[in-house]
Amino acid sequence: MPDKKVIWIPRRLSDATLERARRDYEVIVNEADTPGTAEDIIAMSQRVDGMIPCHSEHFSADVVAQLDPRLRIVANHSVGVDHCDLAALKAAGIVVTNTPDVLSDATAEIAMLLMLGAARHAIMGDRIVRQGQWDSWSPSFMVGKQMTGARLGILGMGRVGRAFAAKARGFDMEIHYHNRSRLSPEDEHGAIFHADVESLLDVSDFLSLHCPATPDTINLLNADRIARLPAGAVVVNTARGALIDEHALLSAIKSGHIAGAGLDCFKVEPGGNAAFAAHENIFMLPHIGSATRATRDAMGFRALGNLDAFFAGQEPGDRLV
């Protein structure tokens, strides 16, 4: 029996994932569950053959340049890989994988929660009842924005965008989307394609972002684009904080042009944006889109499956570089 490969797991992954990892590998786990620093990543590269990082471990070009050649694979426990400089990792000959598919439904569920919560004043309503401030009722009390029949714009129609569209169809929403390439009619399920972002924004009573953070998508939703949204639109982001110009969003919330926002991700994480806190029509969550038991197990298993394939001399199913 050959020696087990050594892997580093910098965050506390699900119990089932750790159990399987320990069965098949010699595992170094950061039991403290603190984000791995650049120094940690560089030091660990001398001790391990593979790593299963989360989006909290940053493989910048500078870090990659200092990695020991022992490290051969970074099997991410995430679908997004904006924390990895893929070009640098490729140049260093390190294989990189991610965990697509398995988190699409959980993330789409959180997008739906955020959309409903922002549209129907979930934060204010909860606060009023919870704090014993519910002392009157009237037909004009806490009137929100109806989703049923409204136009939903989906920016980025990849796996999560499509899972979200499927859920939104249950709300009888009219689905519009923009994507780098148009989907096949079978995948569109009647959704209306927009060849450019601007034309999508013009019709998005609700807008949900589902595209990756890349140099091209930073501040994709800027002041000019927010201005194009119909008055009273609701904006949802479960993708990456980098996609939104937060100052522009805040101005549009203050002016009332944007009726509400549902945000699971922020420019600064962890932490978020303190300036949003004064606005109860911004419904915020701390980056928990994929945080369900089933999905955490599936993500861990997907990452391990990629490691298993690589160390067996096969092509990992989710290889990016």
110 lies in the binding site for ligand 8YV (CB under 6 A):
no
In terms of CB distance, is 275 or 285 closer to ligand 8YV?
285
Q: Shortest gap between Cβ of 209 and ligand 8YV (angstroms)?
A: 12
194 lies in the binding site for ligand 8YV (CB under 6 A):
no
Q: How far apart are CA 163 and CA 17, in angstroms?
A: 24
Catalytic residue chosen out of the listed positions 20, 120, 240, 302: 240
Q: Shortest gap between Cβ of 25 and ligand 8YV (angstroms)?
A: 19
Query: Does the active-site annotation cover 246?
Result: no
Contact residue for ligand 8YV among 8, 48, 49, 55 (CB under 6 A): 55
Q: How far apart are CA 44 and CA 60, in angstroms?
A: 15
Q: DSSP letters of 205-252?
A: SEEEE-----TTTTT-B-HHHHHHSPTTEEEEE-S-GGGB-HHHHHHH
Contact residue for ligand 8YV among 36, 80, 117, 158 (CB under 6 A): 80
Residue closest to 300 by CA, chosen among 1, 7, 2, 4: 7
Query: Does the active-site annotation cover 269?
Result: yes
Q: Shortest gap between Cβ of 107 and ligand 8YV (angstroms)?
A: 6
210 lies in the binding site for ligand 8YV (CB under 6 A):
no
159 lies in the binding site for ligand 8YV (CB under 6 A):
no
Residues 218/243, Cβ–Cβ less than 8 Å: yes
Strand partners, 261: 235, 282
Residue closest to 182 by CA, chosen among 200, 164, 209: 200
Q: What is the CA radius of gyration of the chain?
A: 21
Q: Shortest gap between Cβ of 190 and ligand 8YV (angstroms)?
A: 28
Query: Does the active-site annotation cover 319?
Result: no
Residues numbered 260-289 forming contacts with ligand 8YV, rule: CB under 6 A: 289
97 lies in the binding site for ligand 8YV (CB under 6 A):
no
Residue closest to 98 by CA, chosen among 130, 116, 76: 76
In the three-class reduction of DSSP (H, G, I as helix; E, B as strand; rest coil), residue 84 is classed as strand
The contact set with ligand 8YV (CB under 6 A) reads: 54-55, 77-80, 103, 289-290
- Could you list the active site residues? 240, 269, 287
